[in-house]
């Protein structure tokens, strides 16, 4: 992954990315920016051709002045800038910057963190060292890790405990965080990796990349494992969102340019910001694979979390309540295409009264408040039960109807299209700990091939 650029016009730049020449208007990030005030410091902008020198800035943001980044270098700077050693400290580390510009998401991230957490927030600006050629940025990871480690020593002298430090690293910044954690022998409180970078790291040693030994609790959110993100587990808990790739709402055609390349990768950042706002839960479930999860084979968090399902956000240790933490547990969840992204997962099942000599495919659709969600479940031939997982933006008690359609194959004979099956439909919200949550339609359902049947769902709110 390399980039080079030349000016086209004021506010526009181009760069090579994977053999593509992409022009971008960089005059506006699209996000509302924190306007620097007097005595406040903003992120640097690097020259694309000379951006590989490591010029690190540590910018402190506090609850009392969330819009002002104070440049802190020495211990006296930290104290004078309003740092509170009795609070937790969140350290944000961005990743590779193809254009040498400030990350467009950073201001919103800082604002949200300070709004929901009573903490010091320190943004690490290493735009200079992360710009230009990707492999040069990779070469700077160890150097940056050392600089951040030296900075943390100043915080520890002020009375900050190692366990109160939470590093949030984006892409390449996740591995920087892992490097810092390695230097502190895994005693930092927490590291959150937001789609940790894949190129140059998938086959790297544990000492070179983020891993579960780098902090007391390490989590990673994977959203682009087939391109820019790492595809292997790297923490105690690894969230593979929508399977870890091809996020809903992201462009599917290369004509979208830079957004086609970066949308899946950056979804981890936007998911995390949304989770911080706690508008609804982003709960995930451990499973052997994404396919097994979608097929309804993993319905709770008993193994290995003893029913404490992990959640994305600022819950202590992801909401996991067991010690010691198991390592490299892959957990899965579905999302919507837009913020707040969260859904309510439900198991859906259909039980045939009689077995058939061919697979039976049934499309299940939940309807509520003009919102629909669908999933296809398959009952294998000579079996009676089919099941799957459906994701809906609203909780089950707000679902008004379920729509069932017996899907016949296009090539079957006309007389087969008149086939009718009879069975029972049931559903239960995840996690499913026992059968008490399961709700079934009161009467068996007759489904004729290619015909749609509607049934009311009446599930009480708990």
Catalytic annotation, residues: 171, 195, 265
pTM (predicted TM-score): 0.90
Q: Confidence band (pLDDT; 50, 70, 90) for 146?
A: very high
Token pair in block for residue 232? 């292997």
| SS3 of residue 12 by DSSP | strand
- Residue 164 is given by DSSP the state G
User: How high is the pLDDT of residue 411?
Assistant: 54
**pLDDT, tens only, 418-458:** 789 999 999 999 999 877 789 999 999 999 988 899 999 98
pLDDT at residue 23 tops 50: no
CATH 2.60.60.20 fits 344-456, yes or no: yes
pLDDT at residue 22 tops 50: no
Note whether 56 and 125 are within 8 A (CB).
Answer: yes
Domain 344-456 in the same topology as domain 12-333: no
| SS3 of residue 357 by DSSP | coil
Q: For the chain, which residues make up each domain, given as ranges?
A: 12-333, 344-456
**pLDDT, tens only, 362-421:** 999 999 988 999 999 999 999 999 999 999 999 999 999 999 999 876 555 555 667 899
**pLDDT, tens only, 329-364:** 999 999 999 999 999 999 999 999 999 999 999 999
What number is the average pLDDT over the span 63-76?
Answer: 89
| SS3 of residue 217 by DSSP | strand
- Residue 370 is given by DSSP the state T
**∠ Cα 94 99 104 (to 5°):** 50
- Rounded Cα distance between 10 and 8, Å, is 7
Question: Which has the higher per-residue pLDDT, 323 or 225?
Answer: 225
- Asked, as a colleague might, if the bond just before 101 is cis with ω within 30 of 0, I would say no
What number is the average pLDDT over the span 57-66?
Answer: 91
User: How high is the pLDDT of residue 116?
Assistant: 94
**pLDDT, tens only, 87-127:** 999 999 999 998 899 999 999 999 999 999 999 999 999 99
Phi-psi region of 159 (alpha: psi -120 to 50; beta: other; left: phi over 0): left
User: How high is the pLDDT of residue 14?
Assistant: 43
Q: What CATH fold (topology level) applies to the domain 12-333? A: Rossmann fold (3.40.50)
User: How high is the pLDDT of residue 49?
Assistant: 58
Token pair in block for residue 220? 């990673």
- The answer to whether the Cα torsion of 270, 429, 451, 355 is positive or negative is positive
User: How high is the pLDDT of residue 415?
Assistant: 55
Token pair in block for residue 447? 């489904």
pLDDT at residue 238 tops 80: yes
User: How high is the pLDDT of residue 281?
Assistant: 82
Query: DSSP assignment of 375-419, as one string?
Result: EEEEE-TT-SEEEEEEEESS-GGG--EEEEEEE--TTS-HHHHT-
User: How high is the pLDDT of residue 52?
Assistant: 59
Residues in the chain: 462
User: How high is the pLDDT of residue 39?
Assistant: 85
Question: Which has the higher per-residue pLDDT, 5 or 209?
Answer: 209
Question: Backbone phi, then psi, for 45, in 5-degree steps?
Answer: -115, 130
Note whether 228 and 243 are within 8 A (CB).
Answer: no
Asked which of 52-56, 160-164, 285-289, 412-416 is least confident by mean pLDDT, the reply is 412-416
User: How high is the pLDDT of residue 255?
Assistant: 74
For residue 329, the cross-strand partners are: 237
User: How high is the pLDDT of residue 258?
Assistant: 75
Which stretches within 123-248 are classed as H helix? Answer: 134-139, 141-157, 172-183
**∠ Cα 18 224 257 (to 5°):** 40
pLDDT at residue 198 tops 80: yes
User: How high is the pLDDT of residue 37?
Assistant: 60
């Amino acid at each position: 992954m390399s980039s080079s650029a030349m000016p086209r016009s004021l506010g526009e730049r181009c760069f090579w990315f994977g053999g593509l020449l992409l022009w971008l208007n960089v005059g506006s990030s699209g996000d509302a920016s924190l306007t620097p005030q007097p005595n406040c410091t903003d992120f640097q902008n690097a020259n694309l051709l000379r951006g590989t020198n490591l010029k690190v800035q540590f910018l402190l943001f506090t609850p009392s002045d969330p819009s002002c980044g104070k440049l802190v270098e020495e211990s006296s700077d930290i104290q004078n800038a309003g740092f509170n050693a009795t609070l937790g400290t969140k350290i944000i580390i961005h990743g590779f910057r193809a254009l040498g510009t400030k990350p467009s998401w950073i201001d919103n991230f800082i604002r949200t963190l300070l709004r929901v957490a009573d903490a010091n927030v320190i943004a690490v600006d290493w735009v200079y060292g992360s710009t230009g050629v990707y492999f040069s940025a990779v070469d700077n990871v160890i150097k940056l890790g050392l600089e951040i480690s030296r900075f943390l020593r100043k915080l520890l002298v002020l009375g900050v405990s190692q366990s109160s430090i939470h590093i949030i690293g984006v892409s390449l910044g996740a591995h920087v965080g892992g490097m810092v954690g390695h230097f502190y022998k895994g005693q930092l409180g927490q590291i959150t990796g937001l789609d940790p970078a894949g190129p140059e790291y998938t086959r790297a040693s544990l000492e070179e990349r983020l891993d579960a030994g780098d902090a007391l609790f390490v989590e990673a959110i994977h959203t682009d494992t087939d391109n820019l993100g790492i595809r292997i587990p790297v923490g105690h808990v690894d969230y593979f969102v929508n399977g870890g790739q091809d996020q809903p709402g992201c462009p599917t055609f290369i004509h979208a340019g830079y957004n086609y390349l970066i949308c899946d990768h950056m979804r981890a950042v936007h998911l995390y910001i949304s989770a911080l706002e706690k508008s609804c839960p982003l709960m995930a479930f451990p499973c052997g694979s994404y396919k097994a999860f979608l097929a309804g084979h993993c319905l709770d968090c008993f193994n290995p979390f003893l029913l404490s399902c992990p959640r994305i956000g600022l819950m202590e240790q992801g909401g996991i309540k067991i010690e010691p933490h198991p390592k490299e547990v892959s957990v899965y969840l579905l999302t919507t295409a837009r913020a707040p992204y969260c859904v309510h997962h439900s198991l859906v099942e259909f039980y045939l009264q009689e077995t058939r000599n061919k697979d039976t495919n049934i499309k299940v659709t939940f309807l509520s408040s003009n919102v629909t969600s669908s999933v296809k479940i398959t009952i294998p031939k000579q079996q009676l039960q089919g099941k799957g997982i459906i994701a809906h933006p609203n909780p089950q008690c707000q679902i008004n109807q379920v729509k069932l359609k017996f899907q016949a194959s296009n090539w079957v004979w006309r007389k087969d299209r008149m086939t009718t099956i009879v069975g029972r439909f049931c559903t239960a919200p995840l996690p499913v700990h026992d059968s008490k949550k399961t709700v079934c339609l009161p009467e068996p359902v007759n489904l004729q091939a290619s015909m749609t049947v509607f049934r009311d769902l009446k599930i009480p709110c708990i």
